[in-house]
Structure 1
Amino acid sequence: MQFIGLDLGTSGLKGVLVDETQAVLAEATAPLAVSRPHEGWSEQNPTDWLAAAESVMDALARHGLSDVRGIGLSGQMHGATLLDAADEVLRPSILWNDTRAHAEAAALDADPRFRALTGNIVFPGFTAPKLAWVARHEPKLFERVAKVLLPKDYLRLWLTGEHVAEMSDAAGTSWLDTGRRDWSDDLLSATNLSRAHMPRLVEGSEVSGRLRPALAARWGLGEGVVVAGGGGDNAASGIGAGVVKAGEAFVSLGTSGVLFAAAEGYAPAPETAVHTFCHALPDAWHQMGVILAATDALNWYARLVGTDAAELTGGLGRLRAPGRTLFLPYLGGERTPLNDAGIRGAFLGLEHETDREAGTRAVLDGVAFALRDCRDALAATGTRIDRLIALGGGSRSETWLSAIATALDVPVDVPAAGDFGAAFGAARLAIMAATGAGAEIATPPPIARRIAPDADLTTAYDDAHARYRAAARAIGSF
């Protein structure tokens, strides 16, 4: 038996083909671009997602897919994909890192029902405020909205013909009663929507539908291939990395940065700006701190100095004490713990000695300090981190992981060769849906090495983080 995991990211769509032992047999990727037509806007055309999925599936099909029994889906969260009654897309999808709806988010967050039922602040990047923005600024289009889908669930519609979402992704909309794992009619009505506008809900490890026969025939799959509920990108990464029990956590260095911890149960603390969401498994929840720019910040700096991120980090060598130069990575606002759509990044403490390497180290440290703020916010909720696994493209930098281990004062485990992120987690969810397997298959990956905090630099990192926090306060946060 074989299984496929598809992960619809912001910068690309990735697919993996695995067998029943979870060995990866093949993988493929297709790039995606983001449109930013105005300051604070971030959009993608859903038809580009379908083209990327076709490209990835065509590539996987060259390895033979006749033994595939299930497909799992993962994807970027919060995106508002608006369909009319004929399932035609009404406008470009408004993405997770779009902050145009900050005023609408604040208005919804002022209604105490939202935090009480969702367990979270209504962040500008969440889905509900985006619909409030559309209602205010594009009222004629809003009147035509028949269904609101999250990005991966638009892929599901194309694959199966079904309007379905799952709990982990739905928890990031501001419409889900996260403790009850169901849509809230009260919260929907607050944005002039109803349950009829929402997809049906399933758990991530459940069957959500079956692959359309025409697509199965195109790629050489058999009849009755199931499509699992799947998970939002971070929950699916948690499944891929085996982060399913309290005390287990991962740090993800992708476009955004995430400090994700499995939780004992549902214990929200919205005042901390920590996200409390359903996990992709039944009766399970997780908490995470989210920063909006991780590798996004490094890639921005690389463009600024006319090179690429790999060249910037490749020659850094061992970790050093932070210099005078500080970097605040708030290029498009920030979530945890600031909840500030208007804050912007900054270089501080520039001096004659500041060169390209010093700037690179400041960027890496700035992201590490932002993740430390997430760690502190998680600790305030009572969530513990006993074990931390590194995921994402940025985890290829040993220097960056050393900075994170030292700034957070927790060892960072680096998996052995292989990708144990969202696409792999989606494939695991496909196995569960197709075979009835449970969470026992979501084991941690083999660990190649452990990066311990540098005890000689702990005090220097503590002092630099204190300066970082003071700088953030000075520009209007904390």
Structure 2
Amino acid sequence: MRFLGIDLGTASLKLAIVDEDGHERAFASAAYAVTTPHPGWAETPVDAWWNALRDAAARLPANECEAVGAIGFSGQMHGVVIADENNRALRPAMLWPDTRALDLLDAWGSPQPNPVAPGMAGPLLRWLAVNEPAVMSKTRWALQPKDWLRTALGGEVCTDPSDACATALAAPSGVWDDALIAEIGLRREWFAPLAPSYAAAGTLNADAAKLLGLRAGIVLAVGAGDTACAALGSGLCSDGDALLTTGSGGQIVVMSTDVPESVIGLHAYRAATDQWYRMAAMQNVGVALEAVRGWLGYDNWPSAYEDAFSAAPSARVTFLPYLSGERSPWMNPSARGGWLGLGLGDTRGTMMRAAFEGVAFALRAGLDAIRGNAGPSAAVRTLRLAGGGSIDPRWRELLADALNADLQAVDCPNAATRGAAILGGIAVGHWHAVDLAALAPSATLVASPNANADLAVRHARFIDLYQRNASWF
């Protein structure tokens, strides 16, 4: 038997088929654009997701598709799809980078069990209730992205704790907060019932089976948020296991057997299994480095890496990477970035090097918040490493030095998609919780921290400059 994982990401949809031992046998993906019809908006029409699913499925080997016996789902977190009683989307999906609801966060007050960001489903739905009442009058369901997709394929209408707890409308356990939902003017009946991420939730219908080149009747697992799926796919299953992902943003995830205490600037979410995870979520990793590469006129990444790591580090030049605000640990959506300390003799290599260090220091700020507040299980001296933005060995070494942690590259290029497939296998009884440790992919030590006093001085300067300039944002 084979298991298909579907990962509905922000900019692309990924498919992976894994075998009975959890090994990837086939992979395909298709990209789509995030649209910005107005400054600060981030949307995608659901038709783009559907077309990407069709295109990616067409690239999978037919013989592997014939053996698929279950499908699991991973999805970008926080966003929302507004749908009618037939699961027809009433407007484009609203996504996590969206900031239009920034002025509507007052309803949540402080402190909250989890930090509230404008791109979460709660604030976005509040914005819709105020600004698009005609759409909301037709609404039957307010679904997370992966839940809309599963339902469109024939699955039951439901969601899982890992996604629900990240909407700003539920307790950390994922249970809907009925009082808060009513207080901000939303309807409780819009929100799907809860089910475990690994539960069966319907079967693939005939139309969807034809679209995917699969047989009808395949079991559909509920699925989980992409961070929870990436942790599962990367082999995090024990208390204190930690993962660093670097993509457009960055996440540091630390598993916990018990519910983590509430800490300002950090998230405590449900995992794809019956565990929890502590997370520091940094918005400005790949997105900041890509912007810098463009500003400095590098045509490709190899030349940018070469210039940056050939340049001697500058004790004067510091780059604050907060080009789109920041979540962990600062929770400052107004934060902005740039270089400080530039002189006439500095080169673009100096500036690119400072950008890499600035991003590494931003990740360190999130990790320090975990280390300082999350208990003995979060000492975090080793991080599993995933994400396409962490391949270059010089960048990995800088990360290890800045984070003061060993980095182990996970032998799993598509962790969230693999995690989704594993949920499908659990839904049909092929795997159980006791099997998860044995399913963990291998990991190779790729970088260890070196005592670097000069880097420590530059890190201290970075923190000082952010704190002194925060009042300007």
Residue 340 of structure 1, aligned match among 303, 317, 332: 332
One-letter identity of the residue aligned with 2:402: A
Counterpart for residue 196 of structure 1: 189
One-letter identity of the residue aligned with 1:371: L
Structure 1 residues 225, 320: closer, same or farther in 2, change over 3 A? farther
Contact 2:160 2:224 in 1 (8 A): yes
Contact 1:61 1:220 in 2 (8 A): no
Contact 1:247 1:386 in 2 (8 A): no
**1:351-371: per-residue Cα shift (whole Å, max 9, x none)?**
223322222221211111111
Displacement of 1:420 in angstroms is 4.5
Q: Secondary structure in 2 aligned to 1:244?
A: coil
Counterpart for residue 115 of structure 2: 121
**d(CA) in 2 for partners of 1:399, 1:318:** 10
**d(CA) in 1 for partners of 2:459, 2:314:** 9
One-letter identity of the residue aligned with 1:444: A
Structure 1 residues 386, 465: closer, same or farther in 2, change over 3 A? closer
Residue 279 of structure 2, aligned match among 276, 285, 288: 288
**Within 5 Å, which residues of 2 pair with 1:20-39?**
20-39=20-39
TM norm structure 1: 0.92
Residue 390 of structure 1, aligned match among 382, 385, 405: 385
One-letter identity of the residue aligned with 1:94: M
Contact 2:221 2:423 in 1 (8 A): yes
**1:75-129: per-residue Cα shift (whole Å, max 9, x none)?**
1100121113343222222211112212212x122166xx2xxx21222222101
Q: Secondary structure in 2 aligned to 1:174?
A: coil
**d(CA) in 1 for partners of 2:307, 2:157:** 48
Contact 1:319 1:402 in 2 (8 A): no
Counterpart for residue 396 of structure 2: 401
**Within 5 Å, which residues of 2 pair with 1:59-70?**
59-70=59-70
Contact 2:53 2:212 in 1 (8 A): no
**1:247-294: per-residue Cα shift (whole Å, max 9, x none)?**
1111101111111110131123242x1011000002x11011011121
Specify every segment of 5 or more residues in structure 2 that has no aligned partner in the other structure, as ranges. Answer: none
One-letter identity of the residue aligned with 1:391: A
Counterpart for residue 108 of structure 1: 107
Q: Secondary structure in 2 aligned to 1:200?
A: coil
Structure 1 residues 270, 142: closer, same or farther in 2, change over 3 A? farther
**1:323-355: per-residue Cα shift (whole Å, max 9, x none)?**
422111111111011111111121212222332
TM norm structure 2: 0.93
Q: Compute the RMSD of aligned alpha carbons.
A: 2.1
Counterpart for residue 444 of structure 1: 440
Structure 1 residues 311, 152: closer, same or farther in 2, change over 3 A? farther
**d(CA) in 2 for partners of 1:234, 1:259:** 10
Displacement of 1:2 in angstroms is 0.5
Counterpart for residue 406 of structure 2: 411
Structure 1 residues 202, 450: closer, same or farther in 2, change over 3 A? same
Displacement of 1:441 in angstroms is 2.7
Structure 1 residues 281, 420: closer, same or farther in 2, change over 3 A? same
Displacement of 1:448 in angstroms is 2.8
**Within 5 Å, which residues of 2 pair with 1:164-313?**
164-179=158-173, 181-271=174-264, 273-282=265-274, 284-306=275-297, 307-313=299-305
Q: How many residues align?
A: 466
Contact 1:61 1:219 in 2 (8 A): no
One-letter identity of the residue aligned with 1:222: R
Q: Secondary structure in 1 aligned to 2:186?
A: coil
Specify every segment of 5 or more residues in structure 1 that has no aligned partner in the other structure, as ranges. Answer: none
Displacement of 1:242 in angstroms is 0.9
Deviates more, 1:444-453 or 1:286-295: 444-453
**d(CA) in 2 for partners of 1:63, 1:26:** 10
Structure 1 residues 355, 208: closer, same or farther in 2, change over 3 A? farther
Displacement of 1:431 in angstroms is 1.3
**1:204-234: per-residue Cα shift (whole Å, max 9, x none)?**
1111221112322444433431111221111
**d(CA) in 1 for partners of 2:286, 2:409:** 17
**d(CA) in 2 for partners of 1:111, 1:140:** 31
Contact 1:246 1:384 in 2 (8 A): no
**d(CA) in 1 for partners of 2:352, 2:240:** 32
Q: Matched residues, percent identical?
A: 33
Structure 1 residues 57, 232: closer, same or farther in 2, change over 3 A? same
